[in-house]
Amino acid sequence: MINTSKKVDGIHTLVNVITFFTLQKVKKALTSSCYSNQLVMPYVFTVGNDTGGATKTTCVIELGVALALKGKKVCLIGLDENSELSEYLGIDVDQLDTSSSMIFLEENPKDLARRLPKEKTGVEQLWIIPSAPDLIEVIRRKSREHQEKLLRNYIDNHLNEFDIVLIDTPAGLNMLKLNGVYAADFIIIPTRYDGKTTRAITRFTSHIEAVKGTEFNNYGILISAVDLRKKRNIEKTKTLLEEYSDKNLVFTTKIPTDADIEAAQSEHKTSHVFNIHSKAGKAYSQLAEEILCYF
């Protein structure tokens, strides 16, 4: 007589083994797809919004570090005429012999990227084309020439050695921002949990549409500087962002407020150098994973 209980136990064991190895295969497939290098390099991310104080520059630097820590060769480009990207990293803009303005003012600009020192960033694979005050001259001389393709042309011709380019754009609408938008393969829109910056999303997405066309929807909204103590602002922002959430245009990762970020900035360092365990630093690492899995 067959012992049915043993037979059932054997079937359960077999099912568990098959399930385990199936899950391992799925996990391996997902992992390999998340970190594949199928993209045409470099892939260009533009970070922008239509207002100041939206953490654009912080996002460019901290995300750049997080992507470099995952093995990507990253170049940051500053397009802010206030030189915020340069000043964040302690670069003396008065002593620069090369800057992003040369992309627009010179006929044949080459070799503008410089490696950022590891003691400031904590990584080897991070370069920068810094911003400088003479970007104001670019705005004055080029704004009426409709030359929004200059930056993308430079990236395609001179930055092919990089995996990823991250562009920091100015708050105001000018030809520098239009160049940043035109150059983008994907646009990251950081916004705080408040009405001011979230309303600016509508204005900025209209600029994107004007430059990239109505079919372009390669952008994602990044909720940044999240302060859970301000529940009223959170609820207001959730309502404002419902339209974008329904279209899956909001990143899952949220960047929390973190005193370490401000302290690191005051010392012209990244959070990875200042405090490797910082909350915001970990969140930017999660954002990097989300981006690499998406692309």
Residue 38 DSSP code:
-
Q: Which two tokens stand for residue 157?
A: 């011709």
pLDDT at 246: 66
Q: Is the pLDDT reported for residue 32 higher than 60?
A: no
Dump pLDDT digits (tens) for 54-97.
789 999 999 999 999 999 999 999 999 889 999 999 999 888 88
Taking the C-alpha atoms of residue 179 and residue 169, their distance in angstroms, rounded to an integer, is 9
pLDDT at 8: 44
Task: Provide the whole-model pTM.
Answer: 0.82
Among 220, 129, 215, CA closest to 179? 129
Query: How many CB atoms lie under 10 A from the CB of residue 209?
Result: 14
pLDDT at 106: 81
Q: In order of start, what are the domains of the chain with their CATH numbers? A: 41-294 (3.40.50.300)
- With 0-12 / 13-18 / 19 or more C-beta atoms within 10 angstroms meaning exposed / middle / buried, residue 147 is middle
Contact by Cβ (8 Å): 83, 132? yes
- SS3 call for 243: helix
The secondary structure of 65-79 as a DSSP string is HHHHHTT--EEEEE-
- Determine how β-strand 126-129 pairs with β-strand 164-168: unpaired
Contact by Cβ (8 Å): 74, 132? no
Dump pLDDT digits (tens) for 94-149.
888 889 999 998 877 888 999 999 998 999 999 999 998 888 888 888 766 668 89
Residue 93 DSSP code:
G
Query: What mean pLDDT is predicted for residues 203-219?
Result: 91
Strand partners, 186: 45
